[in-house]
Amino acid sequence: MEQQMPLNTRIRLSAMMFLQYMYFAVFWVPLSAYLKEAQATDTQTWLILSTMAFGCLVSPLVCMIADRHFASNKVLIGLNLACAVLLFLAARQENLTMLFVFLLIAMFCYMPTWSITNAIAMANCPAEKFPQIRSLGSIGWVASLVFSLVALKMFDTKIDNTAIPLMCGAATALVAALVNLTLPNTPPPAKGRKASVVDALGLRALTLIKDANFALFILLSMLVMIPFTLYFSLGSQFFDSQGFTLVTATMNLGQLVEMGLMLLVPISLAKFGIKKTMLIGLIALVVRYAVLWGGFAHGPLMFYYIAILIHGVIFGFFFVGGQVYVDKKAPPEIRAQAQGLIVLICFGAGMLVGNFVNVKLIRRYTADDVCNWSPVFIITAIVSVVLLVVMALFFRDDIKEVAAAAEPPAPEAAAAPSEFDESTEA
């Protein structure tokens, strides 16, 4: 029977999610355009755009401490207040080294909040209601476009390649901290448990890499971040160079479509299985850079919008499909750690490598401060095709094999398909 949740609790949890993702998106999406305008060097650009990745690497340790010693709602208040101050200070920096320092500390504070907000929501709402609460985070991400729209309509100014989005992020972080004061008290869920850095970083899940197929999956997931981050981290630089006046609003159309496409992921998993679902995501990745090249080389503006709107297919089908694979592959006792490991691999190590490679690639084809994006997109499309072919040829959808090994059918039912097989294919 579905549990009831008080309306005021639902509103507070929804507001928490909405603001938490809104204040990140408002400054992160246009950040590379701002760095281009500020004439950042390659190293400065890579380091500043990699602060999110560094934050991902530190996040499990912060969450481990919070889980054992402090109420989650109080930790969230403190982290958001710190982010408000740090983003404000970052916005005021003309020295890009200091901008990096303030954003790095801000990301050490911010990235743990994704796990903490999930923990608060799940502790205070029925499990079946959590996806609805979490969806407000995606809506908040899309709603971050309101800042650039207001600036353009009321003040007739473009803010996407300025420090103003950092100020907007700081203000929204402060509002988020004030809203967090209304959250239900959420005691530390792991109070009294033994702390383990190995567990926090998901390192016990590395035992899964003994399986060659899982090792291939991990390697491919990290390498896919190279083409993925060209758009995710540096997309605003490209769209700003093409004269888009509302870069944040334009790129957030991808997240808007993503919310609808996420509903198709479970259907694809049921009908096609994990491998084909992830291949759909990689095909979309190839299409993105093919149409970006086509738009840049031949001019149809529609191509740019196709590249933006296809974002949800890439993220939902490949990355969410990959999370499902990890969940099915890992034994129950290390399942949570395995999910933490794939986040560290993709948005930690993978993003660090991806940002470095793409910054160097863009610089390679830049002359007189103008980038020739055609070879950048062609090379990225070729890399995406190679990854697609490798996954198609060598990755196996071995979930049925795992289930068979873990739960051998009873002798009398040996000839019949197992329930796991049916649920996988249905």
CATH number of the 10-188 domain: 1.20.1250.20
Rounded Cα distance between 294 and 118, Å, is 40
260 neighbors 312 (Cβ within 8 angstroms): yes
pLDDT-derived band at 147, boundaries 50, 70, 90: very high
Q: What is the pLDDT of residue 146?
A: 94
Mean pLDDT value of segment 291-320: 93
Evaluate whether 349 touches 185 at the Cβ level (below 8 Å). no
DSSP letters spanning 80-136: HHHHHHHHHHHHT--SHHHHHHHHHHHHHHHTHHHHHHHHHHHHHS-GGGHHHHHHH
pLDDT above 60 for 414: no
Least confident of 191-205, 243-257, 339-353: 191-205
Taking all residues of the chain, what is their mean pLDDT, rounded to a whole number? 88
Angle 333-335-336 from CA coordinates, rounded to 5°? 105
Grade residue 417 by pLDDT with cuts at 50, 70 and 90: very low
Say if residue 425's pLDDT is above 60: no
Residue with token string 């919008």: 305
Q: Where are the domains of the chain?
A: 10-188, 196-395
Contacts of 235 (CB under 8 A, 6+ apart): 29, 32, 251
What is the mean predicted confidence (pLDDT) over 109-122? Answer: 91
Q: Is the pTM of this model over 0.75?
A: yes
Mean per-residue pLDDT for 376-389? 98
pLDDT in tens, 312-326: 999 999 998 998 899
Of residues 122, 113, 145, the one with CA closest to residue 30:
145
Highest average pLDDT, of 71-85, 112-126, 151-165, comes from 71-85
Would you state the pLDDT for residue 410? 39
What CA–CA distances, in Å, run from 346 to 48, 192, 342? 18, 31, 6
The answer to whether 109 and 83 are in contact (CB under 8 A) is yes
Higher-confidence position of 378 and 6: 378
407: helix, coil or strand? Answer: coil
pLDDT at position 398, please?
86
Q: What is the pLDDT of residues 24-48, one digit of tens each?
A: 999 999 999 999 999 999 999 999 9
User: How many beta carbons lie within 10 A of that of residue 332, not counting itself?
Assistant: 8
Q: Which two tokens stand for residue 251?
A: 């790129």
| Residue 420, pLDDT above cutoff 60 | no
When pLDDT is averaged across residues 161-168 and rounded to a whole number, the result is 96
* Whether the predicted pLDDT of 6 surpasses 90: no
| pLDDT score recorded for residue 195 | 66
The SS3 of residue 366 is: strand
Distance CA 173, CA 186 (A): 20
Give the count of beta carbons closer than 10 Å to the beta carbon of residue 207.
14
Q: So what's the pLDDT on residue 97?
A: 96
CA distance linking residue 91 with residue 86, whole number of Å: 9
pLDDT digit string, tens, across residues 175-223: 999 999 999 999 887 676 676 777 777 677 888 889 999 999 999 999 9
Going from the C-alpha of 367 to that of each of 364, 371, 373, the distances in angstroms are 8, 6, 11
Distances (CA, A) of 150 to 31, 91, 169, 255: 19, 19, 15, 20
pLDDT surpassing 50 at residue 397:
yes
Helix (H) or strand (E) holding 367: strand 366-367
Q: Which CATH number fits domain 196-395: 3.40.50.300, 3.40.50.12160, 1.20.1250.20, 3.30.70.920?
A: 1.20.1250.20
Residue 409 in this model has a pLDDT that exceeds 80: no
Q: Same topology for domains 10-188 and 196-395, yes or no? A: yes
Mean pLDDT within 247-255: 92
369: left (phi over 0), alpha (psi -120 to 50) or beta: left
| β partners of residue 366 | 371
Residue 3's pLDDT band, with cuts at 50, 70 and 90, is low
> What is the per-residue pLDDT for 119?
86
